[in-house]
Amino acid sequence: GATDWRMPTVKELEGIADMGRSSPAIDPVFFPNTPSSVVWSGSPLAGFQYNAWGVNFSYGYAYSGGVFRSDGNHVRLVRGGQ
């Protein structure tokens, strides 16, 4: 019944990545079933209206190149304000 769901920023997604792990680069106890793929952030890429930042949870790094808003990537929503 919550109504305050939103897309996390790229920094928030980077904050849950575990660089000591791979495929997926995240703690499976706290974040089960996380795909080893790109997860969208709510952070737009400045100057490129069709791109946004994402975090690749295969290795935990953030990137913007080739992350088009029209691609079918995963999302992980968060609750609350920023």
Q: What pLDDT, in 10s, does the model give residues 30-73? A: 999 998 999 989 998 888 888 889 999 999 999 876 678 888 88
Which helix (H) or strand (E) segment holds residue 43: the answer is strand 38-44
- Residues 19-33, mean pLDDT to the nearest whole number: 95
49-56 CB contacts, 8 Å cutoff, 24+ apart: 53/10, 54/10, 54/13, 55/10, 55/13, 55/14, 55/17
pTM: 0.85
pLDDT at residue 15 is higher than 90: yes
The confidence band for 82, taking pLDDT boundaries of 50, 70 and 90, is: low
Question: What pLDDT was estimated at residue 55?
Answer: 93
